Chains A and B, each alone.
Chain A
Amino acid sequence: MSFSVWTVLTPSVGLQGPLRIIVGALMVFFLPGYALVVALFPRQYTEERRQSPPSFKIGDDRRAVPTVVTGLERFVLSVGLSLCTVPLIGLALNSTPIEFTEINALLALGEMTLALSIIALVRWARVPPTARFRALTVSSVAGPLQSLSSGTDRTEVLLNTLLVIGLILASSGVAFAVLDGENGEQFTEFYLLSEDPESGEFVSGNYPSELTPDGETEVRIGIVNQEDQTVEYTVVILLQDIDTDGGPQPAREREIDRFSTTLEAEETWEESRAIRPALTGEELRVTYLLYTGVPPGDPGTENAYRHVHIWVSASGGGSGAAMGGEGQ
């Protein structure tokens, strides 16, 4: 019962990390059901009680022999009945004006567990002391292991001991494998945005379709570093006349801009860069190539880390010089 009180208060006292995970998991998956099981079955399991005549029916005048349950039954019922009762707490809360917030949910859970614990305590206290259920002790856990490690001769004792050690090692290994699990994805996001004329926000739309020699056509370039480390990026911008029906190599191509930036892990970089036409024609592709570190001598989509592009048409001549943009 004291454990129930403690677990109710745990989030509010700022407990964090692995300890909170363990306590929280017990609060939800075990304690409510355990309190219920003790309330229902307050007696200790013994073989002779298990083999006693069947217990009474409702209304039977015969003196009853109450049901006893083994430790394994208690454990399975504790987890199972927790899974059955915890949702009912939430649904009961839902039928009241009380919101299902963190504190309210945990308080409701804790209060129910406390109430069941009190009932369990009362029923347990009514059982003769010699017949009362005793919670798991070291001996009850070590018993099965001890029986494994006993034997009739030295070889058997050795084999049994090796089995016990092996099981402990395997359990530790499995626990480590599970706790060691972490997300292994490391990636970079690379994207283009354009300014929405009405809202002024940068959106994925309204991309420029024309480059004029005397205007400044801007596109906002974005990079998000999700590589879990600091990375130096280089962006190369190409203006390409792609053969839309044919082979992969562009008929004409100009590099119109290049710049570098270094981002720390989780950092986002955005900058608007203007593009002036270095080529003229219809259906020109403005290709943005992202590299980590130094780009190769012949940058292209086939050797870029990431690439994005838009389509424009351009009339009139241009110098092909890269244009700088406003800083972030």
Chain B
Amino acid sequence: MVKLDASRDHEEAIVFRLNTKRRVKLAALFGLGLLLITTLFTIGVPPASGYEISLYDAYPIIFWVFVVGTFFMSHLVIIASAKIPEDRTWIAGLGQVLLLNTLLLLMPYIRGYPMWGRDDALSHLGFILDISTLGGVSGANIYPNLHVVARTLSYATGLEVMSVLNLIQPVFSLVFFGALYLILKQVLDSRERVLFGLPFVTLPVLGQAHINPRPFDAAIMLIPLVLYLLVKTGEDATPSVRAAFVIAIVGSFTYHPLMPVFLLPMFLVWFFADYVPYVGRERSTPMTVVLLPFVVAVAWYQKFVGIIVRFERVYNVLVGFEGEGSPLSSYSETVSRTSPRLVDVLQIATITYGLDGVLFALGFAALGSTLLFQSEMDRAQILFGAMLTVFSFGGLSFLVLDLIVPPERPFQVAKIAAILLAGGAFYVIWDEKVRNYHAELRDTFDVAFAAVLVVLIVLATFSLYPSPLGAENNPQVAEMELEGSAWLVEHREPEPETGVQQIGINYERLYHGQYGTLSWRNTMYGEGSTVPPPRFNYTTYGTLGQNYDQDKYLLVSEGGRVTYQVTFPDYREFWRYTPENYERIERDSTVARVYANGDLETYRINATGGQEVVADVTEN
């Protein structure tokens, strides 16, 4: 009878497992359905017909609901499959996530944007064009790697460089996601634990870095590859692995000077972790292998005066010789001047730093649960814990000091560490406390895990692209802006050069992106500010021309015209220009409207500076 009961329990266990597996597969099918609907939306919505101030508004709200739903179902499938021994349905979940990431990260390309990235990205496009002009890389180019890749890719594919740039960064993201998964496989000792971490490492948590064609963003994407090879040298200390590690470091360090600055401390942590008590003993990576790439990086960057000047300035700020205008002081000044509503501050703060905060909290929770439940930490946990601690708290110093780069850059490194640790926070709790307890405790755990996933998915999705939600505008470059700026370059008066004023665009960057950086001269802007006075100074002068001693061109983009209404609708008193101001320049006898294409208008301001005025004191 005992045997019969045991047999029945075993059969019931098998039936229970089969039913669970079927539910997981049905969930995966449901997730695939959501993905297919998302894809149909993407195909069905027409491409951008002009500048879009928010990419999120290009699709209906229901589309973004499906995006979040697809992420959520895929992650649920991965976690559920993790709990079923030897089940492989998680592959379907992972496939859905990667396909959805492909759609999201290629949105600028799918929307038909000629270029995504209005400031630095356009100048980097200019550096790429310079390579053709010079027949090589300029000696002043301190981070040519991305430019060389883009130029080579353009040659190889026959595509325009601008088109190529839209496609490059997602390839870096592919390496990013792949290497993160390989790190989990390398450092974690069980299939379950790896799969618990998979939802976190497959979310696009680095925001614009996944899409922005800039050297720093490309370099950030290579950090997991470097980390993967670093931890692999600890286990497989063959010359082959070490050679791959050195090549990866030398290659990635020359993408951006911050790479050796950020990673040297981490490599030292890895090396000295052997001396930390309670660390599992593993084979060491020789110090020479760790230090050699830094020697190369120093040798490479020390020849650039610009790098030396930047580091000197950072040093002076840190020791108090210099420094003003930190990001925090800038935020404080804006808040004290505008007295924004608390709900607006919270919204912007959530979009800007919410994802960072949640990930950091998860990362520290993982470290805490590891210390609480495990008898020892391995070197990888020490490494990721150190990365998280140093770059999250250290990133705060970039917030309160003017250290050239914004705090978002060290936060990116901290986020990489956080997503590698985050799955462990839940796994340790599930494995140590939940797995063998009653069903109601499992349900509570599952609901909590699902809630955290939803929060992360929503934050990652809506902070991926700049939008008015975070008080930013879509950095799309429209074809009309390119054509309009090119028209001015080709038709402006040659001598004397007439200066340029701009609203909503950066003429210099657009110039770089179409003609390269070498032929740009600052005299193309003329003297003084490049932005017209607030409200076009109609409260002081009757005409715009009275503000200038020399004639100017004025470029106004559609994005510039509507940015305040869309981004700050409830703060009209702080708008720099109002719709009434724009109507008035159409009646202003000192302003000729000489070019229009539906997005970009070009005006020519006839300077009458210094003349007496009959001021229009009517407030616009």
- A67 near B175 with CB under 8 A, answer no
Q: At the interface, yes or no: B531 with Cβ under 8 Å from chain A?
A: no
Binds A, one of B331-339, B425-433, B452-460, B479-487: B479-487
Contact residues in A for B408 (Cβ distance below 8 Å): none
- B222 near A84 with CB under 8 A, answer yes
- B493 near A184 with CB under 8 A, answer no
Q: At the interface, yes or no: A278 with Cβ under 8 Å from chain B?
A: no
Contact residues in B for A75 (Cβ distance below 8 Å): 178
- B149 near A185 with CB under 8 A, answer no
Pick from B114, B131, B145, B171: contact of A183, CB below 8 A.
Answer: B114
Contact residues in A for B156 (Cβ distance below 8 Å): 7, 11, 20, 23-25, 27-28, 106, 109
Q: How many residues of B contact A (CB 8 A)?
A: 119
- A90 near B39 with CB under 8 A, answer no
- B32 near A84 with CB under 8 A, answer no
- Known contacts: A76-B179, A88-B251, A167-B92. The answer to whether A181 contacts B47 by CB under 8 A is yes
Contact residues in A for B480 (Cβ distance below 8 Å): 185, 187
- A148 near B88 with CB under 8 A, answer yes
Task: Write out, one digit per residue, whether chain A residues 169-180 have a CB within 8 A of any chain B CB (1) or not (0).
Answer: 111011011101
A26 to B: closest C-beta gap in Å? 9
Q: How far is the CA of A170 from the CA of B36 in the complex (A)?
A: 6
B37 to A: closest C-beta gap in Å? 10
Contact residues in A for B114 (Cβ distance below 8 Å): 183
Q: How far is the CA of A169 from the CA of B92 in the complex (A)?
A: 13
- A156 near B102 with CB under 8 A, answer no
- A204 near B602 with CB under 8 A, answer yes
Q: At the interface, yes or no: B365 with Cβ under 8 Å from chain A?
A: no
| CB-contacts of A24-62 with B (<8 A) | 24-25, 27-29, 36-37, 40-41, 54-58
Task: Write out, one digit per residue, whether chain A residues 71-102 have a CB within 8 A of any chain B CB (1) or not (0).
Answer: 01101110111011111111101100001111
- B240 near A41 with CB under 8 A, answer yes
- Which residue in chain B gives the minimum CB-CB distance to A244? B587
Q: At the interface, yes or no: B446 with Cβ under 8 Å from chain A?
A: no
Pick from A147, A160, A181, A188: contact of B111, CB below 8 A.
Answer: A181
- B136 near A20 with CB under 8 A, answer no
Q: At the interface, yes or no: B435 with Cβ under 8 Å from chain A?
A: no
Contact residues in A for B243 (Cβ distance below 8 Å): 40
Q: At the interface, yes or no: A216 with Cβ under 8 Å from chain B?
A: no
Pick from B21, B36, B43, B597: contact of A190, CB below 8 A.
Answer: B597
Task: Write out, one digit per residue, whether chain B residues 368-395 have a CB within 8 A of any chain A CB (1) or not (0).
Answer: 0000000000000000000000000000
- Known contacts: A156-B21, A188-B598, A189-B597. The answer to whether A83 contacts B112 by CB under 8 A is no
Q: How far is the CA of A88 from the CA of B255 in the complex (A)?
A: 10
Q: How far is the CA of A102 from the CA of B479 in the complex (A)?
A: 26
| CB-contacts of B147-186 with A (<8 A) | 148-149, 151-153, 155-159, 171-172, 174-175, 178-179, 181-182
Contact residues in A for B146 (Cβ distance below 8 Å): 87
Q: At the interface, yes or no: B553 with Cβ under 8 Å from chain A?
A: yes
Q: At the interface, yes or no: B291 with Cβ under 8 Å from chain A?
A: no
- A166 near B32 with CB under 8 A, answer yes
- Known contacts: A185-B50, A191-B595, A191-B596. The answer to whether A102 contacts B155 by CB under 8 A is yes
Pick from B178, B483, B491, B590: contact of A204, CB below 8 A.
Answer: B491
Q: How far is the CA of A56 from the CA of B583 in the complex (A)?
A: 77
- Known contacts: A185-B478, A311-B592. The answer to whether A66 contacts B109 by CB under 8 A is no
Pick from B149, B159, B483: contact of A86, CB below 8 A.
Answer: B149
- Which residue in chain B gives the minimum CB-CB distance to A194? B594
Q: At the interface, yes or no: B236 with Cβ under 8 Å from chain A?
A: yes
- B604 near A204 with CB under 8 A, answer yes
Pick from A41, A88, A166: contact of B29, CB below 8 A.
Answer: A166
Contact residues in B for A156 (Cβ distance below 8 Å): 18, 21-22, 25
A33 to B: closest C-beta gap in Å? 9
Q: How far is the CA of A93 from the CA of B43 in the complex (A)?
A: 42
Pick from A23, A88, A185: contact of B479, CB below 8 A.
Answer: A185
Q: At the interface, yes or no: A319 with Cβ under 8 Å from chain B?
A: no
Q: At the interface, yes or no: B26 with Cβ under 8 Å from chain A?
A: yes
- Known contacts: A162-B29, A181-B111, A307-B593. The answer to whether A54 contacts B587 by CB under 8 A is no
Pick from B99, B174, B248, B493: contact of A170, CB below 8 A.
Answer: B99
- Known contacts: A24-B157, A85-B247, A309-B592. The answer to whether A163 contacts B32 by CB under 8 A is yes
- A193 near B491 with CB under 8 A, answer yes
- B583 near A248 with CB under 8 A, answer yes
B209 to A: closest C-beta gap in Å? 15
Q: At the interface, yes or no: B467 with Cβ under 8 Å from chain A?
A: no
- B283 near A54 with CB under 8 A, answer yes
Contact residues in B for A321 (Cβ distance below 8 Å): none
Q: At the interface, yes or no: B67 with Cβ under 8 Å from chain A?
A: no
Given A57-B237, A244-B587, 6 new contacts (CB under 8 A): A25-B156, A76-B228, A86-B152, A170-B96, A184-B49, A192-B594
Query: Which residue numbers of B lie inside 8 Å of A, CB to CB?
Result: 18, 21-22, 25-26, 28-29, 32-33, 35-36, 39-40, 42-43, 46-50, 88-89, 91-92, 95-96, 99, 102-103, 106, 109-114, 131-132, 134-137, 144-146, 148-149, 151-153, 155-159, 171-172, 174-175, 178-179, 181-182, 218, 222, 225, 228, 232, 235-241, 243-244, 247-248, 250-252, 254-255, 283, 286, 478-480, 483-484, 487-488, 491-494, 498, 542, 551, 553, 583, 586-590, 592-599, 602, 604, 606, 616
Query: Which residue numbers of A lie inside 8 Å of B, CB to CB?
Result: 7, 11, 16, 20-21, 23-25, 27-29, 36-37, 40-41, 54-58, 64, 66-67, 72-73, 75-77, 79-81, 83-91, 93-94, 99-102, 105-106, 109, 144, 147-148, 152-153, 155-156, 159-160, 162-163, 166-167, 169-171, 173-174, 176-178, 180-193, 196, 199, 202-207, 209, 224, 226, 242-245, 248, 283, 285, 301, 306-311
Can you list 8 residue pairs at the A/B interface with Cβ under 8 Å? A88-B254, A93-B136, A177-B42, A180-B43, A181-B111, A184-B111, A245-B542, A285-B589
| List of 5 A-B pairs having minimum Cβ-Cβ separation, nearest first | A84-B251, A24-B156, A184-B47, A90-B148, A24-B157
